[in-house]
Structure 1
Amino acid sequence: MPEISRLSGNRDWIDLDFVERERTPELAMKIGIQSHVAGLSLSNTVGLLDSLGVQRSKKAIHDWVQKADLQPESGRSPNQIALDETVIRINDEQFWLYAAADPQTNQLLHVRLFSTTTTALTEIFLRELQQKHDVETAVFLVDGAQHLQTALQRAGLRFQMRRHGNRNAVERIFRELKRRTSSFSNCFSHVEPETAEKWLQSFARWHNAPN
């Protein structure tokens, strides 16, 4: 399918090891995953693939994204980490998206979705972050949220209160995330929180990928 090969964008970050007996060409699958993760709705992604001669359902594309299980790569050693949270709505319920970003590279290090925001959940997020990356000497940049500061203190991690400057990195990413999900009315409808979290983690992997 020469039409597909003309579409731009690096797709090496999409691992299709989950594929066993799939009749869809791998390049078409990668385009479908890339397009939906980048903010194209499932309906529009179906239309895109159809224009390239590939007929697949919304469920098929949804399943590709979920099975790919994409997440930010591990093994980073950032000097600073911007830590923040924002509200995501799922089926008209409020959930909290936690994110840690490297302000020097503007890359997401870790993202998780929780039903609320507490010190205990922040500690869970930080433990997972520590398992993925070398953050022991990093300085965390946080706002005035007390539960973030308390969790960092308990973990023995250094932090600074900062409302501007490098901490804005994660806020810029949140704005981009909400812009790209605007086609979903910034609200995941008819999905489970685990499904939404996988999409958000896939978005983080796409966000970090080279163009």
Structure 2
Amino acid sequence: MPKTDRLNGCLDQIELEFVEREATPRLLMKLSIQLHLAGLSLSNTVSFLEVFGVQRARSTVHNWVHKADLQPQDGRQPDHVAVDETVIQLDNERYWLYAAVDPDTNELLHTKLEPVRTNALAHAFFAELREKHDVDDAVFLVDGAAPLKDACQRHGLDFRYEPHGNRNSVERVFREVKRRTSSFSNCFSNAERETADDWLQSFAFAWNQLI
């Protein structure tokens, strides 16, 4: 599918029920949300709007992304799921990002940002993943992280230790997430963990549309 078609489909899926007044044309709002999630900084997104004679603050665009409440589409049925966890730096705080990726499509299935790394949080992440997608018959690809293997065992899921191979897909996603949070740290300046978690789910939505 051409990327232009995927972009149009992505715009169609961005709902703007939160808009109370038509201060900005809806198409420009959707384009701004998509462009920022696709990699454009808030400053450059604001500059994009100025081309059309629309003056908006960076915080306004950030609020559009947050309020749109975008998430990866539910109901997937992958054969394999690559799962990993990594540290994300937000301002001066360190958080653990859990992510599940379909290695056949590189689509993000689910993400969750947590303040610490524990078996209980890994178990909760897998529970949410199972609620969103039909993954009970999938083979889970994990590295040597004990919490991930423990969560697979507690949920009765088939898993395989695979430090490389198909797990490279989730590593590529993590590299992009870290690049985005590092390059566009203004997204997270003084933000609460819940706000950053929402943004990362929105990023996952856009990632799936454009890969």
TM-score between both structures, scaled by the size of structure 1: 0.91
Structure 2 counterpart of 1:207, one-letter code: W
SS at match of 1:31: helix
Q: Is contact 1:88-1:187 (8 Å) kept?
A: no
Structure 1 counterpart of 2:200, one-letter code: L
1:107 paired with 2:91, answer no
Larger helix share, 1 or 2? 2
For residues 163 and 140 of structure 2, the distance between their equivalents in structure 1, rounded to whole angstroms, comes to: 12
- For structure 2, the residue ranges without an aligned partner over 5 or more in a row are none
1:209 paired with 2:209, answer yes
Query: In the TM superposition, what is the alpha-carbon distance from 1:12 to its structure 2 partner?
Result: 2.3
SS at match of 1:67: helix
Structure 2 counterpart of 1:48, one-letter code: F
For residues 186 and 163 of structure 2, the distance between their equivalents in structure 1, rounded to whole angstroms, comes to: 25
Query: In the TM superposition, what is the alpha-carbon distance from 1:30 to its structure 2 partner?
Result: 0.8
For residues 127 and 208 of structure 1, the distance between their equivalents in structure 2, rounded to whole angstroms, comes to: 21
Q: Deviations over 1:113-147 (max 9, x none)?
A: 00011110001101100110001100100000111
SS at match of 2:171: helix
Write out aligned runs for 1:49-88 (5 A). Answer: 49-88=49-88
For residues 196 and 72 of structure 2, the distance between their equivalents in structure 1, rounded to whole angstroms, comes to: 16
Q: Is contact 2:7-2:209 (8 Å) kept?
A: no
- For structure 1, the residue ranges without an aligned partner over 5 or more in a row are 1-5
Give the corresponding residue for 2:167: 167
For residues 158 and 68 of structure 1, the distance between their equivalents in structure 2, rounded to whole angstroms, comes to: 35
Deviates more, 1:155-164 or 1:183-192: 183-192
TM-score between both structures, scaled by the size of structure 2: 0.91
For residues 132 and 124 of structure 2, the distance between their equivalents in structure 1, rounded to whole angstroms, comes to: 13
For residues 31 and 72 of structure 1, the distance between their equivalents in structure 2, rounded to whole angstroms, comes to: 18
Q: Is contact 1:88-1:186 (8 Å) kept?
A: no
Structure 2 counterpart of 1:208, one-letter code: N
Query: In the TM superposition, what is the alpha-carbon distance from 1:36 to its structure 2 partner?
Result: 1.7
Write out aligned runs for 1:126-165 (5 A). Answer: 126-165=126-165
Q: 1:136 to 1:112 in 2, by over 3 A?
A: same
For residues 186 and 99 of structure 2, the distance between their equivalents in structure 1, rounded to whole angstroms, comes to: 17
Query: In the TM superposition, what is the alpha-carbon distance from 1:90 to its structure 2 partner?
Result: 1.5
Q: 1:185 to 1:68 in 2, by over 3 A?
A: closer
For residues 131 and 43 of structure 1, the distance between their equivalents in structure 2, rounded to whole angstroms, comes to: 37
Q: 1:12 to 1:210 in 2, by over 3 A?
A: farther
Structure 1 counterpart of 2:44, one-letter code: N
Q: Is contact 1:143-1:162 (8 Å) kept?
A: yes
For residues 138 and 150 of structure 1, the distance between their equivalents in structure 2, rounded to whole angstroms, comes to: 16
For residues 114 and 182 of structure 2, the distance between their equivalents in structure 1, rounded to whole angstroms, comes to: 21
Query: In the TM superposition, what is the alpha-carbon distance from 1:44 to its structure 2 partner?
Result: 2.0
Query: In the TM superposition, what is the alpha-carbon distance from 1:205 to its structure 2 partner?
Result: 0.1
Give the corresponding residue for 1:32: 32
Structure 2 counterpart of 1:149, one-letter code: K
For residues 22 and 123 of structure 1, the distance between their equivalents in structure 2, rounded to whole angstroms, comes to: 43
Q: Is contact 2:90-2:181 (8 Å) kept?
A: no
SS at match of 1:181: helix
Q: Is contact 1:38-1:180 (8 Å) kept?
A: no
Q: Is contact 2:62-2:187 (8 Å) kept?
A: no
SS at match of 1:201: helix
Q: Is contact 2:81-2:103 (8 Å) kept?
A: yes
For residues 85 and 185 of structure 1, the distance between their equivalents in structure 2, rounded to whole angstroms, comes to: 20
Q: CA RMSD in A?
A: 2.0
